[in-house]
Amino acid sequence: KTNARERQLHAVESKSDLFPFEEIKDFRDSYNTMVHRVTESGRKIEALAFSDTITGLPNRAHLQSVAAPILAGSKHGTPGGIMVLIDLDNFKEVNDLHGHDAGDQLLRVCASQILKVTGGLQVCESKAGSEPLASPVVSRIGGDEFIIMVQGLVDEGEIQAFLDVLR
């Protein structure tokens, strides 16, 4: 059974000999325009539903959908990993003293820095024949809180080094 996210409209190809009447060509063109608009609208809706509007990071709903299979896999021999919660200290004061635009800018800068740190991670490889490891996930879950989820980062020294860089 498929759901609405898996179904797609497809444009009708334009083979001129297939459509002898101008009205049919007009109908085809209108249909193809509608398919394009519906597809683009669907992409925009999904982006709005699963990403944070300020930072562009995945939001809590996206994190939950990505985290569920990773956490389920950890019960079946897939390498563990870490989940880090970041809460920005004194963020409320930034908003109160400098305004929400400054607070939003701070959130964007923090998101960018977290992505930079997680982008350079080297984690242990998955075992032959097992599922590949998920890419690190950085998500803003609300307010001044971020979550980083890194599958395969299990060595205590590597974890400490990552946390030191993150600070």
Catalytic one among 26, 104, 144, 164? Answer: 144
DSSP class per residue in the chain: ---TTT----PPP--GGG--SHHHHHHHHHHHHHHHHHHHHHHHHHHHHHB-TTT-SB-HHHHHHHHHHHHHHGGGT---EEEEEEE-TTHHHHHHHH-HHHHHHHHHHHHHHHHHHHHT---PPPPTTSPPPPPPEEEEEETTEEEEEEET---HHHHHHHHHHH-
**pLDDT at position 65, please?**
86
6: confidence class by pLDDT, cuts 50, 70, 90: low
**pTM for this structure?**
0.70
Q: What is the mean pLDDT of the chain?
A: 82
Query: For residues 134 and 66, is the Cβ–Cβ distance under 8 A?
Result: yes
Residue 144 appears among annotated catalytic residues: yes
pLDDT tens digits along 119-144 = 876 655 555 455 666 788 999 998 99
